Structure 1
């Protein structure tokens, strides 16, 4: 009655005892229902012994996909009798075992002389031992229409996995394989792109949030390798011992730890909380104890293990959710991403929790869930970036207002200083006019006082020199504005408006005592372009910037003058970002020149209270 029901349930199948009959079509599943098994209690039987008629009665029918939940330390022999009644002559038939993580799977192909050809592969053997390089176990049956053959399989496993066996034609096998690898390639490709992008963000932004997210993606990829076997096929095919590290409990542990660390960093970006940090550390510790206990000391039933894992994770998740709501952050993507994680944990124990009847869908269901989790966490990060950008914009506006107020006060102070200079200048000019008037009176008096003529002439010479000194001082006063505190860059440019004025000042400062040719030592020169000097003896040209702090300068010299001026002030402190914004220079350029100024100060023992900034201009560092 059962055989009749199975025959009715699967169209295209025909059953003759334990014989599976191919009658057309391209794909047959549930082949395990037509197989029988034998447990090798001593693990010493050979295929020739198994194939003898005396063992026919020793084989038992397979009643469920796991065959047996015990006898994990014994070899299990499977027998499949296939009769090909297909009318299509060019169909090649393949046997496929979808359980790629079987420790040892030996296929025995019957030869014409009654012997068998064996092919052994599995998770405990190098991948290259497989005749067909596929992550599942695939074997060509080589059975022609009208033939009947008996095939044997020897299986050694480490857990009571559910077998999913198929018979497919060559065309169906190729189509199925291409589709499977195509979608897995897209899956891993997208995860790899997101991983590379986050590593780039780690390099550019120096934020550990992206490092934790990259670790979570790596853990998900590692977990996926343990689910589909691609890691064994492509990354370590000659090192089957590494397959141990893709076991479900290990990879699940990695995903849980990576998610806890990422979630903690994600929440802390919004709301810094020691409670969240302590809950995360406690959850990691408890999950570690559960993992170690499960794999070493005690056997915890699957449902209980999953329940304890989810309970451990719920504590930091609920605390983090409470902190986000407290900060008025409603990140639905973060909530659903954690829900996906709980679904991954449940689905990682497919022996206990079969969400779908189809084993292939049940096994691969975790891949789109992982994909969705990574996408949702990515959306959470993007939302957080927008939140931080808004905060940064608010702070920048406040900083701009403060800077504008500072500039206003500086302008007000500069105006007062300029007014005082103007008043002092007018006073000096009035004094000069008064002295000139008295000089006229003295000259008139000299007509009468010839004997005092020599003395009056000396006084006149003194007054003339004093007037020249006053005019010189007027120019010096203008330049000395650059030594007064609080001078901004626009005001500073009134003193040194362009490159030419800076070079002129530097030339006068450099050769104010004497010119000596650096090449021949001659002391006569001719004026050259850009306020340089050319030796009249050897024609050697020397620029004003040679052997000064501005030698080989890569940006406008008037901006370098301003940086040097600020470096000599104790009452003006601008950050590198402010200086970079004012001068329209890169932050690294400002830092490099300020560092050069610091080296010059150390070299000459410069004292800001006793020396002006121009004393540093002639310091040569190279």
Structure 2
């Protein structure tokens, strides 16, 4: 196999295959062919001679660089021309003659024949080429075994993924959600690494191949692992510090990734070192928290170790752990598989731990209930003894009461005789009290109406608003009540000694249509002004009245003027009539 780098990227197959051009080809001595020339067409010339004598073998050429942006295979025909087939990560999967995740081409090479084939390649990174020549039987056997193992790999991952999604909704536990995200990231990473996603999931959308770039999918695996491991440790030992360190590690990883993709690009070894340091910080803190809680999860530690191996191997594609390139490439898949299984075992161990904790708590709770029941039984026994003692006391008291009941019956007979006498005395007292009360009421009223009452005595008779309203209500409705709205004569007493009609529910205040209607100052002070206005022996000036009652001079003058209007309206005679007659006069 020989190669040529076209610096113009404009040469055609006719130019390349011309006999005069063959001297420009160089011998291939390295799996990478050439490290540079990423923006130039790389031409490969392959000369194959079938030295076997078996006629029923068909031969296939396979290129393992499945993520090549573009590869064009030129197949020689009997006319001396070439038939081309163009495929790659930038073209729909259906463009390939053989629908395989790698690039496979039928050579049509009979025993004794020798043919020259050409390849034109565009690539985005200096990948290492792995070329194979296989017979039809070997090609089919290899493909079936490869797809079988990959099918088992993805099948198990999908089963674990679906199971954890189910547990997420069933148990409402975010741990399974994080683990589902981790498995999904591993599946996505694997799809981008082996090319099966392009073949089976988005064969007609080659643009989606960009989001399965190994650096992006590996970033998802790292972030998902950090989130899951944080939640895993928090289930054992809640630690805000670990949560903050996990967020810090995620932020640092995103910054390093953005710098690697958009800024200053680090070499593989420094980039791996920085990534591992970022991952080690939350891992070691989480491990410390587990050990502090006396949890020794070897499966968790080994799973993290597998993650480190995946990172190291995927970022250093030149590392060859095995001589077989197929095993060397696919070694990441079993490592991921082991990592998922180990994390699953960690979850199962955690479930067992939580079950043991629950059983321990349940046992302690059972013991506590037994102790509580024991105390309850003891208290019940003591209570029964006390009830028995109390019952005996009650029976004894009942006997005593029975004997005393006889004495009480005898006493009751005597009491009834005395009660008859007391009732006669009470009847006499009620009549005397009635007369006395009428005498007191009449005396109080006379005190309120007599002209010789001074201010201090007046305040004793009408000390507040309620006493004034009560007196005014009795004065206003002493004959009978008639509703002003409907004329009904049945009422219920309302607030402030008012009357509420039982027919139309109209409420009438004692001050309505009286001298105190719409009064703007305390009614007990208005009572006193009215009282003074009916006395001939007292003549206070407005200033003196204002000072005594703590009212404005204009307020006193306005109400005295209102009293004078009421006097004029009723021809009031101070000597013959009391001041209470003016109270019911509405001068307006």
- Residue 80 of structure 1: aligned partner: 46
> Map of 1:333-372 to 2, 5 A cutoff?
333-372=299-338
CA 1:315–1:436: 2 relative to 1, 3 Å: closer
1:83 Cα deviation after fit:
1.8
Q: TM-score, normalised by structure 1?
A: 0.61
SS at match of 1:144: coil
CA 1:289–1:352: 2 relative to 1, 3 Å: farther
* 1:531-583 Cα shifts (integer Å, max 9, x gaps): xxxxxxxxxxxxxxxxxxxxxxxxxxxxxxxxxxxxxxxxxxxxxxxxxxxxx
> Is the contact made by 1:94 and 1:141 (CA closer than 8 Å) also made in structure 2?
yes
Higher gyration radius (CA): 2
- Residue 282 of structure 1: aligned partner: 248
1:328 Cα deviation after fit:
1.5
SS at match of 1:384: helix
> Map of 1:510-521 to 2, 5 A cutoff?
none
> Is the contact made by 1:346 and 1:353 (CA closer than 8 Å) also made in structure 2?
no
SS at match of 1:348: helix
- Residue 137 of structure 1: aligned partner: 103
> Is the contact made by 2:58 and 2:109 (CA closer than 8 Å) also made in structure 1?
yes
Q: 2:187 aligns with which of 194, 215, 221?
A: 221
> Map of 1:51-90 to 2, 5 A cutoff?
51-90=17-56
- Residue 7 of structure 2: aligned partner: 41
- Residue 101 of structure 1: aligned partner: 67
1:275 Cα deviation after fit:
2.1
Q: 2:239 aligns with which of 262, 270, 273?
A: 273
Q: 2:136 aligns with which of 150, 160, 170?
A: 170
1:435 Cα deviation after fit:
12
> Is the contact made by 2:62 and 2:131 (CA closer than 8 Å) also made in structure 1?
yes
Structure 1 unmatched runs, 5+: 1-34, 440-622
- Residue 355 of structure 2: aligned partner: 389
Q: 2:221 aligns with which of 243, 255, 276?
A: 255
- Residue 85 of structure 2: aligned partner: 119
> Map of 1:282-301 to 2, 5 A cutoff?
282-301=248-267
- Residue 325 of structure 1: aligned partner: 291
> Is the contact made by 2:59 and 2:133 (CA closer than 8 Å) also made in structure 1?
yes
SS at match of 2:315: coil
1:402 Cα deviation after fit:
2.5
Q: What is the alpha-carbon distance in structure 2 between the residues aligned to residue 115 and residue 419 of structure 1?
A: 117
Count of residue pairs the alignment pairs up: 406
* 1:79-104 Cα shifts (integer Å, max 9, x gaps): 11112221001110000001111111
* 1:102-157 Cα shifts (integer Å, max 9, x gaps): 11111111111122111111111111111111000000001111222111111110
Q: What is the alpha-carbon distance in structure 2 between the residues aligned to residue 165 and residue 306 of structure 1?
A: 29
Q: What is the alpha-carbon distance in structure 2 between the residues aligned to residue 80 and residue 301 of structure 1?
A: 33
* 1:288-322 Cα shifts (integer Å, max 9, x gaps): 11111111112211111111111111111111111
SS at match of 1:143: coil
> Is the contact made by 1:302 and 1:352 (CA closer than 8 Å) also made in structure 2?
no
- Residue 123 of structure 2: aligned partner: 157
* 1:454-496 Cα shifts (integer Å, max 9, x gaps): xxxxxxxxxxxxxxxxxxxxxxxxxxxxxxxxxxxxxxxxxxx
> Is the contact made by 2:268 and 2:316 (CA closer than 8 Å) also made in structure 1?
no
Q: What is the alpha-carbon distance in structure 2 between the residues aligned to residue 346 and residue 374 of structure 1?
A: 18
1:423 Cα deviation after fit:
8.5
Q: What is the alpha-carbon distance in structure 1 between the residues aligned to residue 203 and residue 393 of structure 2?
A: 95
1:406 Cα deviation after fit:
3.8
Q: What is the alpha-carbon distance in structure 2 between the residues aligned to residue 255 and residue 53 of structure 1?
A: 51
> Map of 1:188-203 to 2, 5 A cutoff?
188-203=154-169
1:382 Cα deviation after fit:
1.6
